[in-house]
Structure 1
Amino acid sequence: MDWVEDRETIGLALDQSLELTVRAPMSATLADVEDVLESRREWLLEKLYGLAEQAEPPYPKEFLSGEKLPYRGREYHLDVVEADVPEPHLSFDGTEFTLCVHGRDAAADHVSVRRKRQAVVDWYVRRAAAELPARSPRFESQLGLADVSIEIEVGTLDGRWGEYDDGIVRLHWRLLLAPVRIHAYVLVHELAHAVHDDHSDAFWNTVGTVIPDYEDSREWLRLNGNTLRI
């Protein structure tokens, strides 16, 4: 347990390594912290159980032929070929990924792996930026947002799959690794915040009008979100 004294009230946070951080004011006593821990006992147990259930992140890739890359919930074979290219470049033909590399990047040393990984990530970011926003208009119509100005952005988010902020929906590019139904859930979830600020019953009812089984998708993300990595 890590105790950080940097706030006016006592707060608890539990990360994916199951390390508990307690943030408390300088004036807090050990007894104060123990009282908070006791009051949050059920929350801690539920959180610990949930994190322990989560799937482990995938083993780091070296981006060599024979490995597989995830896309829309499926795994596809990766073929690495040497070509006259200045930088590694990834392409996908619907059945297989091909990573073209210069001879100097064919090995699995640290620099080559980093360069190949960047090319792979760049492909996913471009693909996500093309695919994910294109699904929004249908959901906006279903949610009664056809006359509301909504902008969809795709990028990297810190600790979140999506967020809504004043007419802008931001989605994490790594969603493209998940099944299509997960894309839909996260997109509808964020669009619903154009109507409801918080996660009230009304909010979840709105999500449920478009994604009736949203609880299954939410649970899938909780258990498998760690695996959506390159």
Structure 2
Amino acid sequence: MRQYHIGQTVVPYEIEWSPDRSTIGLSMDGTMELAVRAPVDATLDDVEAVLEEKQQWILEKLYGLAEQDDPPLDKEYLSGEKLLYNGRRYRLKVASSDVSEPKLEFDGSQFNLTVPEHDHVSTRRKQQAVVDWYIRRAEEELPERANDYIDKLGLDEVEIDIRPLRRSWGEYQSGRIALHWRLILAPRKIQDYVVAHELAHFKHGDHSDSFWNTVGTLVPDYRERREWLRVKGGTLTV
């Protein structure tokens, strides 16, 4: 783990060298560690130059994460608890039946979790059923959020992967984008911001003024949506 010093502030960071990158990118999540993704032909001096250029962004990100809302308390997946879906909280009802594994369904107004009636069901097994449902919904719904933006940007068909991401809500790499499945918990306007952000990288590799101008043509109030995600992103948990 390397360290970058901004005055008295020490920022730990790791460099991920990638043959698929042409520019140096930075990201930071709740761990307060800076992730640097760099092309394989970049030097440490190149990385240091970007860190120098992005000092203000690093400080804003660092202090902003410290101000984020605390994540909700761990769930036990009992009747009466609520689950997030597209930015709304829906009541959970748990019932037992002749099934082999827990299964979650959504009827439009509440979640229904069916568990085996003659078996002790751990919280972990119930949670896995919930996660499986969210992933399926994310795979069905999140790529559809991209259709209008793809047309507006004049892009050909774009491959979109739905998977867990370690340090971000979305990633662009090698002409494809990946979205974190937990975005399905967020309001649709937040999903749209992340999708638009990643698609804008098809036109601009870095976070330049031109990049943000492109995001702004797709999502005019992107600053407000970005701020919502910065503050509330930690609450999007299962």
Do they superpose with TM above 0.5?
yes
Closer/same/farther in 2, CA of residues 44 and 169 from structure 1, 3 Å limit: closer
Cα distance in 1 for partners of 2:168, 2:211 equals 18
Unaligned residue ranges in structure 1 (runs of 5+): 21-39
Taking the TM superposition and a 5 Å limit, the aligned residue runs for 1:1-230 are: 4=1, 12-13=11-12, 16=30, 46-103=60-117, 112-145=122-155, 148-230=156-238
User: 1:40-79, CA deviations, whole angstroms, 9 ceiling, x for partnerless residues?
Assistant: 9977764553123200011000000000000001100000
TM-superposed CA distance for 1:190, in Å, is 0.4
Asked if structure 1 preserves the Cα contact closer than 8 Å seen for 2:134 and 2:182, the reply is yes
Q: Measure how far apart 1:210 and its partner are.
A: 1.0
Deviation string 1:149-186 (CA, Å, 9 cap, x unpaired) is: 41011111111100111221100010010000001000
Q: 1:47 to 1:130 in 2, by over 3 A?
A: closer
For the aligned residue pairs, the C-alpha RMSD in angstroms reads 2.5
What is the aligned length? 200
Answer with 1 or 2: which has the greater Rg. 1
**CA separation in 2, counterparts of 1:168 and 1:105?**
43
Question: 1:16/1:151 Cα in 2 relative to 1: closer, same or farther (>3 Å)?
Answer: closer
CA-to-aligned-CA distance 1:130-152 (integer Å, 9 cap, x gap): 0011222211011221xx24101
Query: SS of the counterpart of 1:132?
Result: helix
String of CA shifts for 1:97-155, please: whole Å, max 9, x gaps: 00000135566xxxx1000000000000000000011222211011221xx24101111
Residue 34 of structure 1 corresponds to none
TM-score (norm 1): 0.79
CA drift at 1:196: 0.4
What letter corresponds to residue 159 of structure 2 in structure 1? Answer: E
Say if 2:86 and 2:187, in contact at 8 Å, map to a contact too.
Answer: yes
CA–CA distance in structure 1, aligned partners of residues 59 and 198 of structure 2: 29
The alpha-carbon distance between structure 1 residues 104 and 217, as it changes in their structure 2 partners (threshold 3 A), is farther
State the SS of the aligned residue for 2:64.
helix
Asked if the contact 1:152/1:171 (under 8 Å) is kept, the reply is yes
- How much identity, in percent, do the aligned residues show? 55
| Letter in structure 1 aligned against 2:235 | T
Q: Secondary structure at the residue paired with 2:171?
A: strand
Q: Secondary structure in 2 aligned to 1:63?
A: coil
Residues 68 and 230, structure 2, Cα contact 8 Å, conserved in 1: yes
Cα distance in structure 2, aligned partners of 1:137 and 1:19: 33
For the 8 Å contact 1:149–1:167, the answer to whether it is kept is no
Give the unaligned 5+ runs of structure 2: 13-27, 35-53
